[in-house]
Amino acid sequence: MKHIFGKMPTLETDRTLLRPIDHHDAEDMFEYASKHEVADQVTWPVHQTIEDTHQFIDIVLDRYQYGKVAPWGIYHKQDKKIIGTADFVWWNSDHSVAEIGYVLSPEYWGQGIVPEVVKTIVDFGFNEMNLVRIQAKCFDHNPNSERVMQKVGMEYEGLMKKRYYVKGEYKTIKIYAIVK
């Protein structure tokens, strides 16, 4: 793991750079992480203050330092700002499998940016990490995320009922995967 993420690689898509985040990105990140429509689609709570965002960045920087999988910032080339994050949520190198997660500012929803980003990360996973399986999950009430997974060639594998207890309720998860 450390040989791949010891120095977090920067990846590029047509419209974005996937790059390490730092505290200079806090305001951009807070802009979307403080929105309820974003937090409703993820397991973490809405960021109440910019300090919540700085705490998240501290965790990410720690993961970078120790060569662990950690989020890339999705940097929009034209708008020159961080508009989301994407990462391998977990990676099991013994089994050559990993899971991708992503979040994007609502301002950029519906523009095809996330499929572009996820496709690049999937390619990186298969070609640089020698993965044989990459999966992704979403809440069952998130058809936009499902479409992302379908657009990058993932196939629906099933429903995980009441998989997570999040924000006071059990959430059902849909799981998709792509294999090499």
| Mean pLDDT score, 47-69 | 93
Instruction: Please write the tens of the pLDDT for every residue from 104-133.
Output: 999 999 999 999 999 999 999 999 999 999
Domains of the chain: 2-130 (3.40.630.30)
| Mean pLDDT score, 156-166 | 93
24: helix, strand or coil: helix
Q: Name which of 8, 25, 17, 35 is nearest 113 in CA terms.
A: 17
| Mean pLDDT score, 46-59 | 95
* C-alpha dihedral sign at 99, 117, 173, 30: positive
Quick one: pLDDT at residue 137? 97
Quick one: pLDDT at residue 114? 97
pTM of the model: 0.91
